[in-house]
Structures are given as structure tokens and as C-alpha cells.
């Protein structure tokens, strides 16, 4: 499961909302219990599907409870000046149900050196230099919490930065000419993800941050790309929007929002 780590340097809620806005391309607002809001899984679905649809040349994404999301400008340059300059659609999260501060972990000053960590029987490159805000994902899935652990049922860790859409020469074709690289990309290497991180300047403290999502990825649904350190969740041609959403939900589960101050 999550490792607990007490810290006095975790960002405040408004800064976290700015980070969620930056990584999603939506304006993320806080709401209260009893109102319609996104879960962490909904959030990663929206982020992944928006990028996939942009990759496919589509201009809109239909998502339950949100309606139609415009994709115009959805993947603006990573160096966008502020979180407020890009978002077009307003979405809501119930902070008490979305975040789990018990498992926040500040890796800002952590250096692993030669230490090796594993998750899902694969190397886990911890996000040293980043501050992780934990998402509330325990007891949310019908198959239990083994995917988030360190045992045999655990899923490997992956990182997702906006713009990991196959544009870096990752896409290849199979013998029949079908696009094998059609789908959602992530990486097991935080250093690779950092290249695709979204930047925003916070109105809370006027500092600039990078933001990346930390996920677990279903090893049965993931493909190793031709290019090292890239993973693909393949979305077959002809999949319906419902099927595309189901593929993401069955393949990628978020558990952390990573922030790094740009010095």
C-alpha cells in the first residue's frame, strides 16, 4: 500500500486544485459532499482520453457527468504561464473524497542512490525530487487493494505527463498495417515523465511548478513500446467511446499527484 510519511511541506488545497487544472486542461474546483464530482479514476480517465482523442484528431470528448469537453488547445505547450490561462471546462472534485493526506510523501530531498525498489515485480523508480499528494483510492475497486501493494498482486508504477501521445516516434505498425501504437502512453521512469510534465505558475505563492500523475498500470494490459521506457495501453481501432473508457479504467489506476518546484 502507500507508505506513510509525515511532512510539513505539503501544498495547500488551492495549489493542488491549480495543479489538477494544469494537468487536466480543465478548471478544477472544490465541491462539497452530495454534489456531483469526479473520482480519482474519473480524473485519470479524462486526462488519458483527452490526449488519446487529440492523438486521433478529434475535437471533443463526451464523458458521463461532464457532457462535452472541447479539445481545442487541450495539449498546449508545457511551459504555459499559468493554470488559469488554458482550462476551458469546469469540473468539480470533493477534496475530502479525492485526496488522502495520510499517505502524502515528500520525496523532494530524497536520494535513492543505488537502492533498488520494486512494485509488481518490476523496478520502481521512485519520484525523488518531487512532492507526492496522495489520492483517495483505497477500498474503491471491486478486486481489492492488492494492485496498490508490494506483493504478487501489485501493479507496476507508471508516470503520466500531458503530451505522451506517441509523437516522439513511438508509434509503429504491425505486419498487417494496423497501428499498434494507438492508445494511451505512460512511462516507468520519472525522468522521462518530467519531459512531458505540465508547468503552471501558482496564484497561491507565485512559484512555478511541474506536475505529473503517478499511477499503477495493469501488467496484463500494458505493452512495451519499441522505444525504451515507454508503455502503451493499446486501444483497438473501431472501439466505441464506452469501450475506450473501459480500457483505460481496467488498465490505469491513479494514486498520486506529483509536484516539483521549478527553481
Rounded to two decimals, the pTM is 0.88
Q: Which three cell numbers stand for residue 46?
A: 479524462
DSSP 173: B
Coil, strand, or helix at residue 16? helix
In tens, the pLDDT along 131-158 reads 999 999 999 999 999 999 998 899 999 9
In tens, the pLDDT along 49-81 reads 998 998 888 888 999 878 888 887 654 444 444
Q: Which three cell numbers stand for residue 145?
A: 487493494
Is residue 55 within 8 A of residue 38, CB to CB? The reply is no
Mean predicted confidence (pLDDT) in 216-227? 88
Q: By C-alpha distance, which of 193, 198, 243, 237 is closest to 56?
A: 237
Amino acid at each position: 500500500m502507500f507508505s506513510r510519511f509525515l511532512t510539513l511541506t505539503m501544498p495547500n488545497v488551492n495549489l493542488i486544485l491549480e495543479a489538477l487544472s494544469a494537468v487536466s486542461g480543465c478548471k478544477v474546483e472544490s465541491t462539497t459532499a452530495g454534489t456531483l464530482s469526479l473520482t480519482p479514476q474519473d480524473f485519470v480517465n479524462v486526462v488519458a482520453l483527452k490526449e488519446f482523442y487529440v492523438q486521433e484528431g478529434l475535437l471533443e470528448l463526451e464523458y458521463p457527468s461532464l457532457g462535452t469537453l472541447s479539445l481545442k488547445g487541450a495539449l498546449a505547450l508545457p511551459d504555459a504561464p499559468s493554470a488559469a490561462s488554458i482550462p476551458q471546462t469546469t469540473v468539480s472534485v470533493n477534496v475530502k473524497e479525492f485526496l488522502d493526506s495520510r499517505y502524502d510523501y515528500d520525496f523532494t530531498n530524497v536520494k535513492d542512490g543505488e537502492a533498488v525498489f520494486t512494485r509488481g515485480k518490476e523496478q520502481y523508480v521512485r519520484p525523488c525530487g518531487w512532492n507526492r499528494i496522495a489520492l483517495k483510492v483505497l477500498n474503491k475497486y471491486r478486486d481489492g487493494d492488492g494492485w496498490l501493494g508490494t506483493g504478487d498482486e501489485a501493479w507496476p508504477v507508471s508516470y503520466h505527463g500531458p503530451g505522451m501521445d506517441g509523437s516522439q516516434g513511438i508509434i509503429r505498425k504491425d505486419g498487417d498495417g494496423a497501428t499498434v501504437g494507438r492508445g494511451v502512453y505512460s512511462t516507468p521512469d520519472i525522468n522521462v515523465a518530467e519531459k512531458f510534465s505540465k508547468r503552471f505558475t501558482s496564484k497561491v505563492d507565485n512559484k512555478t511548478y511541474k506536475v505529473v500523475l503517478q499511477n499503477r498500470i495493469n501488467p496484463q494490459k500494458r505493452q512495451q513500446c519499441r522505444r525504451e521506457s515507454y508503455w502503451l495501453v493499446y486501444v483497438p481501432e473501431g472501439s466505441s467511446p464506452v469501450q475506450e473508457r473501459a480500457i483505460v479504467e481496467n488498465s490505469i489506476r491513479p494514486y498520486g499527484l506529483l509536484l516539483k518546484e521549478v527553481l
